[in-house]
Structure formats: structure tokens, C-alpha cells
Amino acid sequence: MAEQAQRLAVLIDADNASAAIVDDLLAEIAKLGTASVKRIYGDFTTGRLAAWNARILEHSIQQVQQPSFTTGKNASDIALVIDAMDLLHSKRFTGFCLVSSDSDFTRLAMRLREEGVIVYGFGEKKTPRAFVAACDKFIYTEILRPPKKRAASPARPAAKPPGRPVAKPAPRPASSDISAPPLDILRDAIDSSADESGWAHLGQVGRVLNNRLPDFDARNFGYRSTGAMLEELEGFEIRRQGGPGQQQTVYVKVKPGA
């Protein structure tokens, strides 16, 4: 029997999220489960959030209008937190998606996790570390932008002619958008998941990485997946099991002396 999809509540802080990424945001959330509730919070009468208006209708997101009664006080944040607790106590959801770069939601994320639900955070790379660490998984919205809006990944070296040894491409250089993968943590995650032969199931490695680094995502480093990243990095071996047309099982190993 197929595993039942997670029921997710998606709560968006319009003041701290860009309307430009909503298509890719909801596509990413669809990989995690079913967005049973989609709500966005803010004062939409000021014109500052006008970019959200068309996107809200297009994606059937419930707009929660919250006027700013007092300058300097964010009433929409409080409304989001109140709704989150109401939804939590309804016992209808297995996970929450908090879309914001605001550290004010750190305690909310912690409280939701205390009740045993999964918390996915979505925000920009400027998001304070406390909020990132409070989530089970945190995804930076920069990697959700359409390719033309992201910095181009460095080109891979051309393949050498047949008959000559082909060196594995070196790790991609760091840039403002693409940083170097945490090699020590990668090795530790593989070692802690490996059997006596040193091979570890890639899925288990991914879970260990996510437990240590909620914001770990191969796309942050310019790769489409963790497996693709480990294939290119020096010091790791990849083994795939499964014939053509079958779902492949992927194992990874740290090379001796790496």
C-alpha cells in the first residue's frame, strides 16, 4: 500500500517572502505532501504587497488581511502564530510549512515540533540561524527561483579524448550563491550510516545530514541532488543497484585515506 501523503498547512508571511518564488515554492511543497491549507498574512491595503494579489488568486491561497494597528508592531505575525496553534490543535496536519525569513517564528517552529509535527521552513539565506535550526528542514528560497534569476553554475570541464584517463571534476568554486559542500560533515554522516564494509545507503545518509544541518540541500552547492554531488566530489564512491527500468538503490562510501 502506498504511503499516505503528508497533510500540510502552508503559512506565508507576506512581509518576508517574495511573490516571485510562489510557483517554485508550491512545487517544492508538493514534493513534501499535500498543501491542505494555504494562507498568507499581511496588510494588503498599503500597496506594498500588491505583487501578491494576482498570485494569491492564481494559487487559491487564502488571504488573511491584518491591518497594522500600531506602527512598529507586526500584527500579521501574531495572526499567523494564532492560526498555526489553532491548526495544530485540530490534529488534522502532519506538517507545517512556515514561509518567512523572520526569526520571530523561531519559538513557533519549536512549539510545533514539540507536538510531533514536522516543520519545514522556507526563507532567504539571510534568515537567522536560530529559525533555521528550529525547523526539521529548511530550504532557502534562492534555489527555488527560475534558473534565469540565479547565478549560473560554473561550467564543467570538457571530457578528455578516449584512451586518456579522465580526472573527476574538482569541486565547484564558491561564489555569492554557491558555497563549498561541508566535506567533514558529509564524511561523518556516511561513516555513521555505513555497514562493516563501509557502504551506506544514500537515503540514510541524507537523513543524518538533515538532522545535523536542517538547511542542507545539494542545490545550495550547485548540484541537482546529493547523489550527483557525491559523484563529482573527490574522496567518495557511488554504487547503484537495480536494472534498467527498475528503481535504483544508491550506496555511498568514503574512499580510504580521503
Last residue of a domain, one of 88, 120, 147: 147
Residue 146 is predicted with a pLDDT of 52
159, HSE (Cβ side, Cα atoms, 13 Å): 3
Tell me, yes or no, whether 154 lies in a domain. no
Residue 174 is predicted with a pLDDT of 43
Residue 152 is predicted with a pLDDT of 46
Please check the confidence at residue 150 and state whether its pLDDT lies above 80. Answer: no
Residue 100 is predicted with a pLDDT of 97
Q: 205 and 129: one domain? A: no
Residue 257 is predicted with a pLDDT of 77
Q: 92 and 219: one domain? A: no
Residue 70 is predicted with a pLDDT of 55
What is the DSSP pairing of strand 249-254 with strand 6-13? unpaired
* Containing structural domain, residue 37: 6-147
Mean pLDDT, residues 41-56 = 89
Tell me, yes or no, whether 58 lies in a domain. yes
Mean pLDDT lowest for which of 134-138, 157-161, 183-187, 198-202?
A: 157-161
Which CATH number does the domain housing residue 232 bear? 3.30.420.610
Q: How far apart are CA 226 and CA 211, in angstroms?
A: 15
Q: 111 and 225: one domain? A: no
Q: Work out how many domains the chain is built from and give that number.
A: 2
75-115 confidence digits (pLDDT tens): 899 999 999 999 999 999 999 999 999 999 999 999 999 99
Going by pLDDT thresholds of 50, 70 and 90, the confidence category of residue 53 is confident
User: Under DSSP, is residue 204 helix (H, G, I), strand (E, B) or coil?
Assistant: helix
Question: What's the pTM?
Answer: 0.79
Tell me, yes or no, whether 170 lies in a domain. no
224-249 confidence digits (pLDDT tens): 999 999 999 999 999 988 777 777 89
Give the other-Cβ count within 10 Å of 80's Cβ: 28
